[in-house]
């Protein structure tokens, strides 16, 4: 079945056209800088040349028309007719407490996603905009919402409650939600396919290390704790996000620098993390290059990043009273041997032994074991594929629904 997967940001639409039976990414691409003078358009067909273009695109509906124009063009032969696309899967960042699984989008679901805007003011509005634009474009096929938070629904209260007055949980649903759920779900399922042990008996730590980064403790196939919290700001140090800090720092800074609250928000979300620590870049490749050239701050940023990963791994081994496998995934986890080595060194007491040779000789895109043969805990690189999870969920739900609720 051909499924279009859509991931909308405030000024961007990323897409993947996936053939779910063969699990083939037929084409992927994005429209960026929607609403700016010129938008940037990129398409990457599986069996074709990458295409890059610029033109004026004023809104998400136009962006989707542009994408469909490319997919339907007789020159590209990717989709014969719009009717060949049988479902649209939408990545939605925050499902609040309501959504434990992916769902067919109808009016009630739209309302519930809207209600969750309060919890994810940066992410849910563009997600919703994307859904509205896509329904306008494809009213007669089912649309499915797949939530970043859904996989973490299994967190026990002791893991999701914060140490603040309980009435704030009851009144405003302030709790840990966790994110990157589709990625943690996908890589853990890939691991289960490799082993003989029953899933119920497994303990896995999944490290999704990209621009955004989070770690999940997965026991018996279910997420039992995760490093991101009420929002995707907490936990690990990230590209531009601070991760966990002492909340008093914010009060202190507001006073010392006379900062308005909106600036504090930008400070911890967009000017902190690797970028803030290094004063140079948010991108791990740039930091590694500069650290190798002797830049002390870039080296420190990498050190802090890796130290936090190690701390979460240690704490999740305690949470689960053991661990069968640690999975490394996403841009940094899959590609940065240095980060894997630094994050996993000195964990031999906990049964983690990295094989440096294996760690330094990984073929990109392949599942690879990088622990030693006698390591009690297996360490694996498993490339993530969030879009495939969204496509498969969308295909299943669309098939069960039979027809779109929008016609």
Using an 8 Å Cβ cutoff, are 381 and 373 in contact?
no
Among 71, 327, 336, 352, binds ligand ADP (CB under 6 A): 336
Q: Identify which range of 19-27, 135-143, 303-311, 332-340 contacts ligand ADP by CB under 6 A.
A: 332-340
Q: Which stretch, 95-103, 280-288, 305-313, 354-362, contacts ligand ADP (CB under 6 A)?
A: 280-288
Q: Binding of ligand ADP at residue 330 (CB under 6 A)?
A: yes
Q: Is 331 in the site for ligand ADP (CB under 6 A)?
A: yes
Stretch that binds ligand ADP, among 47-55, 119-127, 164-172, 326-334 (CB under 6 A): 326-334
The two three-digit tokens of residue 186, written as one number: 């996908």
To the nearest whole angstrom, how small is the minimum distance from the Cβ of residue 30 to ligand ADP? 12
Sign of CA dihedral 317, 321, 327, 329: negative
Query: Using an 8 Å Cβ cutoff, are 344 and 378 in contact?
Result: no
Alpha carbons 310 and 354: distance in angstroms, whole number: 13
Q: Which is nearer to ligand ADP, 336 or 380 (CB)?
A: 336
Residue 339: CB minimum distance to ligand ADP, A: 7
| Helix (H) or strand (E) run with residue 383 in it | none
285 binds ligand ADP, rule: CB under 6 A: yes
Residues 6+ apart with CB under 8 A from 348: none
Residue with tokens 């996993």: 344
Footprint (CB under 6 A) of ligand ADP, residues 172-231: 210-212
Q: Point out the catalytic residue in the list 108, 118, 140, 148.
A: 148
In the block, tokens 């897409």 appear at 15
244 is catalytic: no
335 binds ligand ADP (CB under 6 A): yes
Q: Does 332 bind ligand ADP (CB under 6 A)?
A: yes
Q: Which residue is nearest to ligand ADP (CB)?
A: 331
Q: Is 383 in the site for ligand ADP (CB under 6 A)?
A: no
Token pair for residue 348?
Answer: 């031999």
DSSP reduced 3-state for 244 = coil
How many whole angstroms separate alpha carbon 303 and alpha carbon 345? 12
Smallest distance from the beta carbon of 220 to ligand ADP, in angstroms? Answer: 27
Size of interface with ligand ADP, in residues (CB under 6 A) = 13
Kindly state the helix (H) or strand (E) to which residue 177 belongs, with its residue range: none
Least Å from the CB of residue 274 to ligand ADP: 7
The nearer residue to ligand ADP, 14 or 175, going by C-beta atoms, is 14
Which letter does DSSP use for residue 163 in this model? S
From candidates 97, 106, 283, 341, binder to ligand ADP by CB under 6 A: 283
Asked if 299 is part of the footprint of ligand ADP (rule: CB under 6 A), the reply reads no
Burial 72-103 (b: 16+ CB within 10 A, else e): beeeeebbeeeeebbbbbbbbbbbbebbeebb
Closest approach of ligand ADP to the CB of residue 250, in Å: 24
DSSP labels for 322-366? --SEEEEEHHHHHH-HHHHHHHHTT-GGGTB-B-HHHHH---TTS
Contacts to ligand ADP by CB under 6 A: 210-212, 239, 283-285, 288, 330-332, 335-336
* Residues classed as catalytic: 148
């Amino acid at each position: 079945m051909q499924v279009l997967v859509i991931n909308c940001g405030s000024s961007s639409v990323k897409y993947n056209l996936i053939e779910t039976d063969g699990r083939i990414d037929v084409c992927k691409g994005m429209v960026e800088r929607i609403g700016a003078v010129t938008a940037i358009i990129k398409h990457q067909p599986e069996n074709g040349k990458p295409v890059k273009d610029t033109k004026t695109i004023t809104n998400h509906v136009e962006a989707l028309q542009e994408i469909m124009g490319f997919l339907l063009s007789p020159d590209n032969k990717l989709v014969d007719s719009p009717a060949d696309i049988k479902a649209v899967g939408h990545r939605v960042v925050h499902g609040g407490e309501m959504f434990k699984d992916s769902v067919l989008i109808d009016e009630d679901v739209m309302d519930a996603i809207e209600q969750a805007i309060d919890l994810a003011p940066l992410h849910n509005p563009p997600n919703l905009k994307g859904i509205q634009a896509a329904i306008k474009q494809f009213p007669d096929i089912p649309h499915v919402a797949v939530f970043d938070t859904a996989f973490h629904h299994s967190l026990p209260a002791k893991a999701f409650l914060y140490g603040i007055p309980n009435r704030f949980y009851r009144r405003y649903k302030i709790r840990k939600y966790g994110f990157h759920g589709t990625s943690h779900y996908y890589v853990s399922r890939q691991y289960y396919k490799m082993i003989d042990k029953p899933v119920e008996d497994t303990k896995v730590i999944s490290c999704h290390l990209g621009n955004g980064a989070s770690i999940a403790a997965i026991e018996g196939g279910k997420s039992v704790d995760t490093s991101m919290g009420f929002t995707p700001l907490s936990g690990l140090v990230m590209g531009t996000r601070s991760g966990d800090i002492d909340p008093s720092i914010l009060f202190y800074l507001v006073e010392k620098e006379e900062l308005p609250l909106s600036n504090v928000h930008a400070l911890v979300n967009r000017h902190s993390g690797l970028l803030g620590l290094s004063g140079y870049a948010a991108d791990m490749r740039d930091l590694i290059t500069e650290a190798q050239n002797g830049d002390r701050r870039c080296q420190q940023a990498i050190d802090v990043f890796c130290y936090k990963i190690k701390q979460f791994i240690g704490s999740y081994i305690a949470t689960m009273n053991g661990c069968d496998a640690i999975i490394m995934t996403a841009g940094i986890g899959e590609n940065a041997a240095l980060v894997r080595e630094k994050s996993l060194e000195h964990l031999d007491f906990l049964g983690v032994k990295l094989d440096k040779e294996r760690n330094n000789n990984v073929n990109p895109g392949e599942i690879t074991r990088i622990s030693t043969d006698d390591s009690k805990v297996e360490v694996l690189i498993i490339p993530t594929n969030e879009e495939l999870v969204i496509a498969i969920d969308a295909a299943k739900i669309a098939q069960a629904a039979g027809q779109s609720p929008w016609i």
